[in-house]
Amino acid sequence: MPALPTLDLGLPGWCLRAWAATDAPSLAAHADNPRVWRNMADTFPQPYTLEIAQHWVARGHIDFGGDNWAIACEGTAVGGCGVHRGAGGERCNVEIGYWLGEPYWGHGVVSQVVRVLTARAFALPGVTRVFAPVHADNPASMRVLQKNGFRREGLLRRSAIKGGQVIDRVLWARIDDDAAPDGDTRPAAKRVEDRT
């Protein structure tokens, strides 16, 4: 699998880069925070131990699927983000996700992350829609998306489990009205065959 490129965030000292084995201690330090965990999907570990972080940087970010970057500040991984392209008839969709260590909140970092990931997603042939489902009580994340041209598409009532509770989420998406289909006319079964 080709290494992920490093992506400039347009903020001095900040970039997106591939996860490295040496990131495990800083990943555990920033991810092991209930205020990060509470707004992430239920699969995000809590507590986020060093062992879990070691697994993520070694294999977890690959097994998770899609492209997953570390958000790095002056070389140190202090957050994470990723993109997942849909499959089959939903391959025109790209989902984005992100989190940042609490000491860095409120400085416009993830607004830049979303800007860069969205531009990259729309540069792929056939991508018409970039989306993110957000917990209904996460206004900061919704603001980040709104600032990047995403629109609120609707309330996904009782659509996820978080910490043993059923929660509502809000679906945000940005659409490229001019993007053409990717022109892939192979039968669905052939596309699956070609991916394996």
User: Where do contacts with ligand COA occur on this chain (CB under 6 A)?
Assistant: 36, 39-40, 98-100, 105-111, 132, 134, 138-141, 143-144
Cβ 188 to ligand COA shortest distance, Å: 30
CB nearer to ligand COA: give 80 or 120.
80
Beta carbons of 30 and 72 less than 8 angstroms apart: no
CB nearer to ligand COA: give 89 or 132.
132
Closest by Cα among 34, 40, 42 to 161: 42
Measured CA to CA, the distance from residue 15 to residue 77 in angstroms comes to 10
CB nearer to ligand COA: give 14 or 57.
14
CB nearer to ligand COA: give 106 or 181.
106
Cβ 139 to ligand COA shortest distance, Å: 3
Cβ 190 to ligand COA shortest distance, Å: 35
For 185, counting Cβ atoms within 10 Å of its Cβ (0-12 exposed, 13-18 middle, 19+ buried), the class is: exposed
Beta carbons of 101 and 79 less than 8 angstroms apart: yes
CB nearer to ligand COA: give 105 or 180.
105
How many C-beta atoms lie closer than 10 Å to residue 184's C-beta?
Answer: 12
Q: How far apart, in Å, do the first and last CA atoms of the chain sit?
A: 13
Cβ 30 to ligand COA shortest distance, Å: 9
Q: Sign of the C-alpha dihedral, residues 190, 2, 17, 128? A: negative
CB nearer to ligand COA: give 143 or 186.
143
Measured CA to CA, the distance from residue 170 to residue 160 in angstroms comes to 11
Cβ 92 to ligand COA shortest distance, Å: 21
Measured CA to CA, the distance from residue 148 to residue 118 in angstroms comes to 8
Cβ 66 to ligand COA shortest distance, Å: 15
